[in-house]
Amino acid sequence: MFNLLQLEWKKVKGYTTFRVLFLLYAILLPSMLLVIKRLPDVPSEFGSKDVFFMFPTVWNYLGYAGNWLVFFFLGFLAVLSISTEINNKTLRQNIITGLSRAEVFQAKVSYIVALSLAATLYYVLVAMLIGVFNTETIYMVKVWQEWDMIPRYFLMCLGYTSLGLLISLLVKRTGIALFLYLSYVMFIELIIRWAIHKNIVSNKSMHFYPMNAVEDLTPFPLLTTTSDVVKGVDFDILLTPNEAMLTTFVYIIIFWFLSYYILEKKSL
């Protein structure tokens, strides 16, 4: 597995798009939170600007900001790097030169797992630095009060990149794959959930869709504390953390299974 990961690293380390997208993620993750320091005031619902930067709430707000960045930069990166390999016949060449299709699949899974792990470790580093410099009295209990955000963030990263893996293998053409990825996350699933599912069965089952489960891993923090933020539904607007984690894990396995099936059955 490590050798396959090394092979993937050799492919992407000189890939300019890889470096640019991951660099943008690295720059924007702290910037999206720290820019709030420049604001003269925040809505009263937040209480104080301090909640964005101090322990333990920094984990939640930084996680929500990271959700948007991972969706765009890491998800796009997964789609771009894999679909580009297909279009350039690199995957076919790997098989011709000795790799089995199962090993090619393992290499791709290793790549998105490593990418998700790197993004998560960076999230932990940024949260710790921001929290340490903005919390007056630091207690370890307070620092790690929201520790479960770390595995949730990792699953969130893996959810987006796994969807990118599936779409890039399914569609192959880079432009169409990117459009489908963006459309499904931002529009298609929302339409299915709110315009179709809700009108047929209006209950919490409408939240158990793949990308909604991924989003609910690191939701907008006020949605978890303020019941008046969302009105018009008579059931919980969010999955619980355990529900979101289990649902996301199941969908990741499904995405991987479908990706492996496509890789085995379709010509490259």
Chain segment 229-249, per-residue pLDDT in tens: 455 556 678 899 999 999 999
Answer yes or no: are the C-beta atoms of 177 and 266 closer than 8 Å. no
What does the pLDDT read at residue 92? 75
What does the pLDDT read at residue 86? 83
CA distance 14 to 34: 31
Q: How many CB atoms lie within 10 A of CB 113?
A: 17
**3 state DSSP class of 37:** helix
Pick from 81-95, 129-143, 206-220 the range whose average pLDDT is largest.
Answer: 206-220
How many helices and strands in the chain, by DSSP H and E? 14, 0
Angle at 150 between CA 149 and CA 154, to 5 degrees: 110
CA distance 173 to 261: 18
Name the residue range of residue 148's domain.
Answer: 2-265
pTM for this one? 0.93
CA distance 55 to 60: 10
CA distance 168 to 16: 19
What does the pLDDT read at residue 44? 57
Number of structural domains, the chain?
1
Each residue of 110-123: pLDDT tens digit?
999 999 999 999 99
